[in-house]
Every structure is written in structure tokens, then in C-alpha cells.
Amino acid sequence: MGQTVFIPRELDANEQRVAASPDTVKRLAGLGFEVVVEKGAGTGSRIPDQDFAANGAKIGTAGDAKKADVVLKVRRPTDAELKGYKQGAAVIAIMDPYGNDAAVAAMAKAGITAFSMEFMPRITRAQVMDVLSSQANLAGYQAVIDAAAEYDRALPMMMTAAGTVPAAKAFIMGVGVAGLQAIATARRLGAVVTATDVRPAVKEQVQSLGAKFLAVEDEEFKAAETAGGYAKEMSKEYQAKQAALTAEHIAKQDIVITTALIPGRPAPKLVSAAMVASMKPGSVIVDLAVERGGNVEGAQAGKVVTTANGVKIVGHLNVPGRVAASASLLYAKNLFAFLETLVDKENKTLAIKRDDELVKATMLTDAGQVVHPNFAKADQQPRVEPAAVPATTLVAEASEKKTAPKKTADKKTATSKSAAKPKGIA
């Protein structure tokens, strides 16, 4: 009897995605696996059980997990799920381990070999496995759709006999995968788009999509990218300068979308309460980083907040999951591409090569131990996340630097130019 891959129904009420598609089920069967999909696992992604069954899957129950050699999931398994897995099973999911040391330690204790898909290295070989890109791309698209839904006016300029409707102004903060897709989508809908990021390499990408780039382009800016292509955390001095530059710009925008994240840290505060207060009634801010603490002061996870001055701050959870039918197809392909590298094609069995660069980068736990270097002490000393720099601090710093030379500077002008825009990250 061949080895078994189990695809469960996700337990989180906000999670509509599934870790397989009819196509990947067929491919998994081709690799020699018996594939078991829990009944109803694909319902939230518009994939009925019969579509999985037609491609070679057996429709089972949650109890089938105890026989599985491989478990493919969207989210990290809960303690209850871990109790149903057999020791030595390979569990592949988006593990979200930062700040969740107890959960990482629990996976080690359960004896599973856990892989965190979001740790996939950004190398050519692994592009098809890059879940951050596949899911962030859809998050950027959906952010614009959500903004348009909350914005009670048209986005494109419309010229009619009765008059002209002006185009909406959209500002994208953080130009990673999500930011680039947000720019492209907003442009397709007819908005006038500007964008900012601390990485100099993205300037050309922003301009190629027809948007205008906004940033303090000093020496720190020119070196603000890691070898892996991620943004670095910027100094407080740079954050203050960027705050002064963007504060006045934000006050003129109809839509602001923030996408900034730093791996392993809380989301940086990009938009202060003062900035929000400077915006026009009816303006919309979409905070894609709300689950990591948020880029926007006043954003609340899972809620759309309307401020006293009539600005809506959108903090939807699991934004890729809001387009689950599309997100699941891409995520399933990411998982299959990775799992395929762990299979011995001749014997058609799981054969994890622990010296492989993909395995070393993504393996969290193995043989009862936490093996990833970033979490090696998770079962001994829980990691305490560093605090994000408050936007209010950055506002104060920007104001101080801006107004010090002119003791009689106009108070209104100083305020508008110094609201916060900190560590721009994409």
C-alpha cells in the first residue's frame, strides 16, 4: 500500500482556502500517493467533493489524518489536530511561527516534521513554491476591490454632458508583490496612483505600471534592501524624514493601501492618527498588515472602522482568503511543487533530503526537536517580539526636526508635514 496524503478541512472560521485542487490531487496520485480529502474541505473554495473524487481522491473524515504520512494544510495545525497525527508525519502549511513559540514547541512534541511554506527561499528553483508571492498577489488585488467597495464614488475619471467625475487618488505604501498588484489593479480601475517604498529597486517597477514613485532618496534609501530582496528596517531618522514627506501627500488621497511587513517583527506603523485625521471624509484606508499589528493607527483586525472625520479604515482578516477560489488553486500548486521535491520518484515514497536547501530553509521541527535556527529555543524560552515603533513617536520626531530651525513656523504647516510614515517596507 502506498503512502497517504491527507488534506483536511480548515478549522479557522475565517479560512475558506483549501490545500489542494482537483489538478494537484491528480498529480499527487501520479506520484504514488493515496490521497484522502476530508469531506467539505473545498466548499469554501467552490471545489465540491465530487471534483476531488473524480481526480482520484478518497473523501474521508478528520480521523483519517492518523494514517497520513503527509498532511497538507493552509494554516498551522491546532493542538487538537496535532493529537490526531501520527508521529513522523510531514505537515506542510503556512505556519506563522513568529511570536508563536508555544505552537512550534507543540509541533515538535507531537513528533511531526513540520515545514513552514512562508520560509521558502527566494531562488529561481523555488519560484513556483513561493506562497508569499502567490497569496500576496491576490491580497493586493483584493485590497483595491475592498477599497472600491467602501469608497462611495467612481474610481476612474468620467466625462459626461452633465459634468466630469474626477479620478480617485490612490496611494500604495509598500511595493512588494501585494503593492505592485494593488498599483496595477487601481490603475486598471482608473485611479491616479502614487506609491512609496524604502527599496530603491522598486522605483522602476512602480513607474512601469504607470504610477508615480514617492520616497526620500538619500544614501540610506539606496542601501535599504537585503540580499534576499526584502526591505530593511529603516533608522528613526529616515522614518522621520519619510513621515514629513508623506504626511501632506496622504491628506490629499482618496484611497490609501498599506502593505508593509518586516519578517519576524510586528508591522511598522506607517499611518498615524494625525494622518488619518487629515484625510477627507469618505476616504478609505486598507491595512493589509492588520494581522501583524497593522500599519495604521486605529485599524482593528477584522473590522471596518469609521473615524470621527468620516475616514474608513478597513482591517479585514485573511485577505487572500476573501478570494479563496483563486487563492486555493495557486496555493495548492505551491504545495505540490514543494512536496514533489521530497519524493523519491523511483520508489514513489517520501524521501526528505535534510541537506537540501529548500528543506533546511523551511523545516521547523523534526524527530521531536525544533530544528529551525530562528526557533531553536522555542521549547525552552519563548521568544518575545520587539515592539513596533509607534507612529506617534515618528510624528513627534518629524515635527521636531521640521520645526526646530524656524521658531515661528506655522503650526498648521508643521503638523501637516510631520505626521508619520515610518519604516516603509513592502
Q: What is the DSSP string of 272-308?
A: -HHHHHHSPTT-EEEETTGGGT-SBTT--TT-EEE-T
The answer to whether residues 357 and 395 belong to one domain is no
Report yes or no: 59 and 52 within 8 Å, Cβ to Cβ: yes
User: What are the phi and psi torsion angles at 379 (to 5°)?
Assistant: -90, 0
Amino acid at 298: G
Across the chain, how many H-helices and E-strands are there?
A: 14, 19
Q: 381 lies in a domain?
A: no
Could you tell me the three cell numbers for 372?
A: 529551525
Residues 316, 330 share a domain: no
Question: Is 424 among the domain residues?
Answer: no
Catalytic entry in 45, 133, 272, 278:
133
Residue from 3, 9, 51, 122 carrying the catalytic annotation: 122
Cα radius of gyration (the chain): 23
263 and 189, same structural domain? yes
Helix 236-250 to helix 411-418 angle, to the nearest 10 degrees? Answer: 110
Q: Tell me how far CA of residue 116 lies from CA of 129, 162, 358, in angstroms.
A: 11, 56, 11
pLDDT of residue 266: 87
User: Catalytic pick from 46, 50, 87, 127?
Assistant: 127
What local confidence, expressed as pLDDT, does residue 217 receive? 75
Q: What's the maximum distance between 2 C-alpha atoms anywhere in the chain?
A: 82
For residue 399, tell me if it sits in a domain: yes
Q: Do 146 and 170 contact (CB within 8 A), yes or no?
A: no
Is 230 designated active site?
yes
Same domain, 344 and 397: no
According to the model, what pLDDT value does residue 222 have? 64
Per-residue pLDDT of the chain (426 residues; tens, 9 = 90+): 579 999 999 999 999 999 999 999 999 999 999 999 999 999 999 999 999 999 999 999 999 999 999 999 999 999 999 999 999 999 999 999 998 999 999 999 999 999 999 999 999 999 999 999 999 999 999 999 999 999 999 999 999 999 999 999 999 999 999 999 999 999 999 999 999 987 788 899 999 999 999 987 777 666 665 555 555 667 788 778 877 888 989 999 999 999 998 877 889 889 999 999 999 999 999 999 999 999 999 999 999 999 999 999 999 999 999 999 999 999 999 999 999 999 998 889 999 999 999 999 999 999 999 999 999 876 665 444 444 444 443 333 333 333 344 444 444 444 333 333 333 334
Give domain status of residue 198, yes or no. Answer: yes
Out of 64, 130, 146, 379, the active site residue is: 130
163 and 191 within one domain: yes
- Told to judge if 127 belongs to the known catalytic residues of this protein, a careful annotator would answer yes
The answer to whether the beta carbons of residues 290 and 315 sit under 8 Å apart is: yes
200 and 260, same domain (yes or no): yes
Catalytic residue among 3, 23, 69, 230: 230
Number of domains in the chain: 2
How far is Cα 51 from Cα 25, in angstroms, rounded to an integer?
10
Is residue 90 domain-shared with residue 190, that is, in the same domain? no
Query: In the annotation, is 133 catalytic?
Result: yes
Instruction: Check whether residue 147 and residue 290 sit in a common domain.
Output: yes
Q: Are residues 290 and 181 in the same domain?
A: yes
Same domain, yes or no, for 342 and 356? yes
Give the chain's mean pLDDT: 87
| 382 located within any domain | no
Q: Residue 381: what pLDDT?
A: 54
pLDDT tens-digit series, residues 59-106: 999 999 999 999 999 999 999 999 999 999 999 999 999 989 999 999
Give the whole-angstrom CA distance, residue 291 versus residue 307: 20
| pTM reported for the whole predicted model | 0.83
pLDDT at residue number 401: 37
**114 shares a domain with 11:** yes
For residue 17, report the phi and psi dihedrals to the nearest 5 degrees: -75, 165
- Distance CA(222)–CA(241), nearest Å, equals 15
226 inside domain: yes
Listed residue (255, 306, 261) closest to 283, CA to CA: 255
Give me the CATH number covering residue 361.
3.40.50.720
What SS3 state is found at 93? strand
**Residue 213 per-residue DSSP state:** E
Where is 413: in which H helix or E strand? helix 411-418
> The dihedral of CA 340, 341, 342, 345: what is its sign?
positive
Q: What gap in Å lies between CA 71 and CA 35, rounded to an integer? A: 10
Domain that holds residue 96: 4-130+324-375
Domain check: are 87 and 163 in the same one? Answer: no
Three-state SS at 192:
strand
Any domain includes 426: no
